[in-house]
Amino acid sequence: MQLRTITLDDTAAIDLIAQRMRATLVEVEGEEAGGGMYSMDWLRDRVRWHLDGRAAEVVIAEDLTGAIVGHTIYRIEADAHDAPFGLVSTTYVVPQARRLGVAQQLLARAESWFRGHGLPQCCTWTSSTNAPLIALYARNGFMQVERALNELTHTPMVRLAKQLAAR
């Protein structure tokens, strides 16, 4: 398995990531809600947004044949009340590569990047029904710290957070 950061000129990877972001939404929210939430153009633009000079990375996982079997997007976030923190925006692994450690490697890469930027905490938001992702994060020391309702789908969401120790 090889992890690689993509750039704005990698249009094929951007398109594939957007398709898989849609697949994540469908998998977690169902076909009707997840499939209709965002247009493909919006999803591609969202991937590009992360690559356009922000403190962010879009990382793909490639298997030994070079096929992209997973991705993650993470960035530095800040709000008016808190110190900057790391946010894992999305993670996806193709079904045939699940339970092989791909998501674990992607999460470890994000955490390392956050530590390298001196961030004291990282987090992610996910649907409260996304049991596999919640379990992955729990195994890696994340705790549920907040619940909220997704205004688009009315799905209960959870925020999973972890304090980062400097290395």
Q: In what order do the strands lie in the sheet with 68-77?
A: 2-5, 56-62, 68-77, 85-93, 121-127, 156-163, 143-149
**How confident is residue 167, by pLDDT bands cut at 50, 70 and 90?**
low
Mean pLDDT of 15-34: 85
pTM of the model: 0.90
- pLDDT of the residue at 153: 67
Angle at 2 between CA 103 and CA 99, to 5 degrees: 30
Sign of torsion over alpha carbons 132, 108, 59, 126: positive
Residue 60: DSSP 8-state: E
What is the rounded (10 degree) CA torsion for 59, 28, 102, 91?
A: 20
In three-state secondary structure terms, 119 is coil
Average pLDDT over residues 37-62: 92
CATH number for the domain harbouring residue 125: 3.40.630.30
Query: Quick one: average pLDDT of 102-118?
Result: 96
Average pLDDT over residues 101-112: 96
Evaluate whether 139 touches 116 at the Cβ level (below 8 Å): no
What is the extent of the structural domain holding 17?
Answer: 2-163
Specify the pairing of strand 85-93 against strand 143-149: unpaired
Express each pLDDT in 123-161 by its tens digit.
999 988 889 999 999 999 999 998 777 776 677 889 999
Domain count, the chain: 1
pLDDT at position 36 is: 77
CA dihedral sign, ordered 152, 80, 106, 140: negative
For all residues of the chain together, what is the average pLDDT? Answer: 90
